[in-house]
Amino acid sequence: MFEYVLTFLIFFIWWIVYYRAKKTCLPQPKEHLLKHLNKLRFWLWPAMIMTGLKFAAGAVLWNADWAFVEDKAFIQWPLYALSISAVFFFSLPVLTSRKLSELHAKLNDGSNGYLNNRILVASFSAAFYAAACSCLYMLFLSQSPLRFSSFITIWIAFGILMGTAWVSRRRQFKELQHSLNMDHRVTYKQRLIRFSWKCLLVIAITSIMVSAGLISSRLPDRMSMMDHGRHDSSGSPGNHSHHGSHAEASSISAENIESISVASLRGPQTLKPDRTFELSAQKKLLTMPSGETEEVWAFNGLVPGPELRIQEGELVEVTLVNIDVEDGVTIHWHGINVPNGEDGVAGLTQNAVMPGEQHIYRFIAEQTGTYWYHSHQQSSVQVAKGLYGTLVIEPDDATVLEDVDLTVMAHPKGTSNGTTITLGATGKLQRQTVKPGKTVRLRLINAHNMPKMFYLSGASFKVTSIDGVDLNGPEWIQNQKMLLAAGGRYDISFAMPDHAVSLTHSADAINERSEAIVIAGNDRDQPLPGREGPVFNPAKYGTPSSVPFDADTVYDRNFTLVLDNRVGFYNGMMTNVQTINGYVFPNTPSLMVREGDIVKMKFVNRGFMDHPMHLHGHHILVLKRNGEPVEGSPWWTDTLNVAPGETYEAAFEADNPGLWMDHCHNLDHAAAGMSMHLMYEGVYTPYEIGSATVNKHE
């Protein structure tokens, strides 16, 4: 962020320098000329120093990862270096030369003078235009890997600006000489006409470019999710000893792999289910905690939807009924590695369920832990409207359960379903009564688009699982705040003390209207305010244990995903687009794998917003965070929050064939282009998305 802001400050300061340099070339009284020269010298040094800071900041970023500076090294740095060199060689000698002193001596008080030196202005204009091109690049073209088209566009633009400036200054100097010789000056009216023509030209060019961008960015009316972007294999499958029988399978060519539809990758269809649920999606007027009435879209009339509790190993059947949601709905089982055909992504694994229709999901609960479900038809809209709920899979070994098991969902509505505890703008303090000595498990779920901080005050606790996967050897900690990714889950456990315990989003004092949950032996006790402590770090928590792959593993596929943001056009709108490797959906790359591949992924966040990356159908093992290996318990996750400036390396086994979404779970970011797919060879989808279908773009 510092380097980003610095780029715009450099542009502003070099504009001042350029402006002052132009002023010295106009006939004016001696005192005015000296004033402009002094101000030119004054602003020149901050401009030079800040440009030097730009290079220093780039060096720091380079040390973190090459992806942070790749485009800067080929575009911004050469632009600055070229222009600064011109200032050193051509402008500084003039500003400190004996001729300039002689000019001062010749000018009498009240006489006119000016610097007749186009080179002086040209070098400052080069620095200004270099700063301008750097800003334009960062705003509209920022990307990694760098594309040649962007590289050549910026350098051509810089050349055109410099050529135009040189011709313009040459004409102005000729007019100036002519006016001095003929005692004739360009009138104010003439200057105004010229300025107006320039403005009209800029407006015309800008209008054409904006119109072209808006039109070309519109998403297709109908398209297959398979037909987008570049199919990135990033390394061909090979004969690696850690695969065993996969070595032979890897030698089979992609053409010989039998094609299979996602529609056939379903859960058991003929067996009798152990647990059945029906979820009805409908519109409803709901009274918010503020007292206002709001239309929500709800499952079974509740926001969150009903809490689903099932046991490990059970065959689950969920019937989704759409009563009156015109846009259609689906259900995605967030974090549960269901068969691909049960994943609930409209246009990829099924058609959206339209009003009056129903769809049956079936899967075996092979995992345990805390999960949630939500609609994946235009999820940025439908989740915000209320189509989400919690899901808990309890282990079949009941001896490991705590005495008290509570699910806590942080979500923006502040409403409750009567079972799940809401942590948010409920308008009143939430209370739970638990006797001292009892063991308590809190299942924390973040249904917001942004990371949320959780404070547990009044008791030591353990973080027992992340995203449904138990940690090895969790340790007792206290006063550590937990930053939970959007879509992520933490399970924490503690023994109930003889005083009140609180769970909040801040360490502020608690009153009866706080956004907090108080757990106590009665309904009166108030906890003490929480204390600010360090942020819980999963990479250094728990006890190490064996993992299926690590830094020494030879991986079949290696993918790098560079996350960024810039101003651009998306689906007919000008917005802050969210990019992966410089592209937005549907031009983002598709990650191609083969069943059995061991895949390594590297995430680099070049932007200034958090990106909780969520891969459907798989859990990934975090290997490194900011270049440092994970030292504690194996850290498995399905929603990895990549903060600005952070890098992660993670790995997984491609063991769940299908076509899977991989997207930012800030759902507004997914809707602005930060979405892609993991595609298994030989798998196809018969479904399509677009305005001409029932399936909507994210």
User: What's the CATH superfamily of 231-256+546-684?
Assistant: Cupredoxins -  blue copper proteins (2.60.40.420)
The mean per-residue pLDDT over the stretch 6-19 comes to 90
pLDDT in tens, 403-460: 999 999 999 888 888 889 999 888 788 899 999 999 999 999 999 999 999 999 999 9
Residue 326 CA to residue 385 CA, distance in Å, equals 13
- Secondary structure class of 267 (helix, strand, coil): coil
Among 639, 645, 698, which Cα is nearest to 667's?
Answer: 698
Q: Which range among 315-324, 570-579, 638-647 shows the weakest confidence by mean pLDDT?
A: 570-579
In angstroms, the first-to-last Cα distance of the chain is 28
> Which pair of structure tokens corresponds to residue 140?
């509209």
- Secondary structure class of 14 (helix, strand, coil): helix
Topology alike, domains 231-256+546-684 and 275-540: yes
- Secondary structure class of 303 (helix, strand, coil): coil
Q: What is the pLDDT of residue 417?
A: 87
The mean per-residue pLDDT over the stretch 630-638 comes to 97
Distance, CA of 91 to chain centre: 43
Query: Parallel, antiparallel, or unpaired for β 275-287 and 315-322?
Result: parallel
Beta bridge partners of 392: 309, 370
- Cα distances from 229 to residues 223, 560, 577, 678, in angstroms, run 12, 15, 16, 12
At 41, the pLDDT band (50, 70, 90 cuts) reads confident
Domain spans of the chain? 2-186, 231-256+546-684, 275-540
- Type of residue numbered 592: M
- Tell me: pLDDT of 253 over 60: no
Cβ atoms of 344 and 350 within 8 Å: the answer is yes
- Cα distances from 50 to residues 42, 54, 68, 76, in angstroms, run 14, 6, 19, 14
- Type of residue numbered 133: C
Burial of 94 (0-12, 13-18, 19+ CB in 10 A): middle
- Tell me: pLDDT of 29 over 60: yes
Residue 348 CA to residue 343 CA, distance in Å, equals 9
- Secondary structure class of 57 (helix, strand, coil): helix
Please state, for a pLDDT cut of 90, what percent of the chain lies above it: 60
At 186, the pLDDT band (50, 70, 90 cuts) reads low
Q: What is the pLDDT of residue 223?
A: 92
Cβ atoms of 521 and 485 within 8 Å: the answer is no
Residues in the chain: 698
Residue 85 CA to residue 88 CA, distance in Å, equals 5
Question: Which residues lie below 8 Å from residue 601, measured CB to CB, with a gap of 6+?
Answer: 559, 560, 561, 620, 649, 650, 651, 652
- Tell me: pLDDT of 644 over 90: yes
- The CATH number of domain 275-540, selected from 2.60.120.1440, 3.10.580.10, 2.60.40.420, 1.10.3720.10: 2.60.40.420
Instruction: Output phi, psi for 521, to 5 deg.
Output: -75, -10
What is the arrangement of strands in the sheet containing 590-593, beginning at the earlier edge strand?
231-232, 590-593, 675-680, 659-664, 611-615, 639-642
